[in-house]
Structure 1
Amino acid sequence: MHIVANEPSLAFYRLQEHVRKALNPMVDRRADVEKLHVELQGRCYDMEYAAGAIKTIKNADETFDNIRENLKNAIFLKQQLKYEESRKKKTNPSSVYKRLSAHITLDLPELPELSDVVRETANRVESIMNKATHSNV
């Protein structure tokens, strides 16, 4: 019995039987472990990239402060421009004739020829003034 149990061919048979039973699950496990290793390595790279992005965001405070200041300045300048435009509209009456007629308090007799000449002259003066203001802008 001792010789039969220790016979080399029987030992090789037992080894072959064990390898046949254990090899397929072991190969499957190894493939699973390699797949998990690749996934884990990818996630580690993602974590390193995210940590680097967070560090970069911490250093971006100065940039965001500059952006905030520039936006404040732009809003302030826009408000100033709007105020100046509204102020010009208020101080700039629509016609020179209206401005002149506000100062003239003479009672002139009704002369049809004279009123046409005055109206035409007022229109010419007004057009000249409009051209002058538009060329200065």
Structure 2
Amino acid sequence: MATWQSDPELENKVKRATERISENMHIVANEPSLAFYRLQEHVRKALTPMVDRRVEVTKLQYELQGRCYDVEYAVSALKAMDNAESTLKSVQDMLKNAIFLKQQLKYEEARRKKPETNSVYKRLSAHITLDLPELPELSDVVRETANRVESMMSNARHNNT
């Protein structure tokens, strides 16, 4: 029988080599589990912020869509105003005409209401100075008669014109 002599250095190298092979076999055997664990960890950390961002983007999309509708409505209103130019011009012309007619009416009214400064009674009474005693009945009668004469003179003038 042959005797084997043990070489401690060789045994040490064999032991390290078998440990490395065993470790590598363990890593290769468990690598898919580790990869799935890392994926799960990444998804768990990244999913919540991603969902929050997606909700925010959806909300912003609805707001943007509403603002687009507002802009489209404003543009159509402006186009409608452009089409109303002829109508507004017509209204402006009618307003100018109404103002002119109102001014004419006001002028005619002022001309008709002009006080008669050439009244015969007034001209005559300006030259007559009488010292009459204070008689209340007589002054009322004189005033009434003066008014009647003045109105008759006005009527006669208007009928002549």
TM-score under structure 1 length normalisation: 0.65
- Correspondences of 1:1-137 after superposition (within 5 Å): 1-6=27-32, 9-90=33-114, 93=116, 98-99=119-120, 120-127=144-151
Amino acid at match of 1:51: V
Higher relative contact order by CA 8 Å / sep ≥ 6: 1 or 2?
2
Gaps of 5+ in 2: 1-26, 125-129, 133-138, 156-161
- The alpha carbon displacement at 1:48 in A equals 0.8
Pair member with larger Rg: 2
Percent of pairs with identical residues: 60
2-structure distance, mates of 1:58, 1:11: 67
2-structure distance, mates of 1:69, 1:60: 14
Q: Once the two structures are superposed, what CA deviation does each residue of 1:68-122 show, in whole Å capped at 9, x if it has no partner?
A: 11111111111111221232244x5168xx24787x9xxxxx9x8xxx8886544
* Divergent runs of 4+, >3 A: 9-12, 99-102, 116-122, 125-131
Q: Secondary structure at the match of 2:116?
A: coil
Gaps of 5+ in 1: 105-109, 132-137
Q: Once the two structures are superposed, what CA deviation does each residue of 1:11-31 show, in whole Å capped at 9, x if it has no partner?
A: 432331121121012112112
2-structure distance, mates of 1:118, 1:15: 123
1-structure distance, mates of 2:53, 2:42: 17
> Root-mean-square deviation (CA), in Å?
3.3
2-structure distance, mates of 1:83, 1:100: 28
Alignment match, 1:107? none
Amino acid at match of 2:70: D
